[in-house]
Amino acid sequence: TQLLEQSPQFLSIQEGENLTVYCNSSSVFSSLQWYRQEPGEGPVLLVTVVTGGEVKKLKRLTFQFGDARKDSSLHITAAQPGDTGLYLCAGVSGTASKLTFGTGTRLQVTL
Amino acid sequence: DAGVIQSPRHEVTEMGQEVTLRCKPISGHNSLFWYRQTMMRGLELLIYFNNNVPIDDSGMPEDRFSAKMPNASFSTLKIQPSEPRDSAVYFCASSLNRGDEQYFGPGTRLTVT
């Protein structure tokens, strides 16, 4: 069974702070995706990283895929209340691109 | 675009009753996925279809669960009989083809008492 552990599970910070969320696995994935989910809604894809060591930036969000394609991180600079939500990583494997979701990190950003 | 449509949004039922969840994927999408989300287990893939054919149902918890996709624009997930441990949010997602970005519906919150 492929497991993706995210840390921390919960994070409450003030606006303007920086934070990093980690996603770790013992399995190798062909690619890794990050999603954000808001209450009452389904997850929405933020980014897909494919190559080991790859770094992608999406405004204040920086995503990195580990060299061995087993882990990833999400760094948010100068967090804003609009960043509040559940962040999920998902490993992609197999020819059908089956997704295995991580345990999730619930982020709350307050004024 | 309407996005993925799920119904009902909320369902409360008693143990032993049959529950049917419905999903309409995005028009033109060829792959459809059913997920279940709970606090304890997170988001889990139950089954997925490609071109209306079930490809992998290894995530279906037990025989009480069944899923169908009679045509490209409709899928159902049925639980019979339902049990309290089935309480969760059930999501449907679709993608253009296998391997493409998945678009999630708003989910159905199921409560079995």
CB contact under 8 A, B93 and A100: no
User: What pLDDT was estimated at residue B27?
Assistant: 96
Q: What is the mean pLDDT of residues B15-41?
A: 96
Average pLDDT over residues B75-80: 98
Residue B62, pLDDT score: 85
- Phi/psi-derived region of residue A40, left when phi > 0, alpha when psi is between -120 and 50, beta in every other case: left
d(CA B85, CA A13) in angstroms, rounded, equals 34
Q: Is B45 in contact with A98 (Cβ distance < 8 A)? A: yes
What local confidence, expressed as pLDDT, does residue B1 receive? Answer: 64
Q: Measured in whole angstroms, how far is the alpha carbon of residue A48 from the centre of its chain?
A: 10
For strands A10-14 and A105-110, give the pairing: parallel
Task: Assess contact for A50 and A56: CB atoms under 8 A.
Answer: no
Cβ neighbours, 10 Å, residue B20: 14
- Selected for mutation to probe chain B from A99, A103, A105 (highest B CB count within 10 Å) is A99
Per-residue pLDDT, A23 = 97
Residues of chain B with Cβ-Cβ distance to A48 below 8 Å are 101
* % of chain B beyond a pLDDT of 90: 87
DSSP A80: -
Residue B99: predicted pLDDT = 77
Chains A & B: contacts with CB separation below 8 Å: 47
B98 against B50, higher pLDDT: B50
Residue A69 to residue A54: CA distance in whole angstroms:
9
Over range B44-66, report the average pLDDT: 93
Q: What mean pLDDT, rounded, does chain B reach?
A: 94
Low-confidence stretches of chain A (pLDDT < 50) are none
Compute the C-alpha angle A15/A17/A23, nearest 5°.
115
pLDDT score, position A97: 67
Q: Which residues of B touch A92 (CB under 8 A)?
A: 99
**Residue B14 above 90 pLDDT?**
yes
Share of chain B above pLDDT 70, in %: 99
β-strand pairing of B10-13 with B108-112: parallel
pLDDT of residue A3: 80
The distance of Cα B25 from the centroid of its chain, to the nearest Å, equals 11
For residue B102, list chain A residues with Cβ-Cβ distance below 8 A: 45, 99
Q: What whole-number distance in Å separates Cα of residue A38 and Cα of residue B20?
A: 25
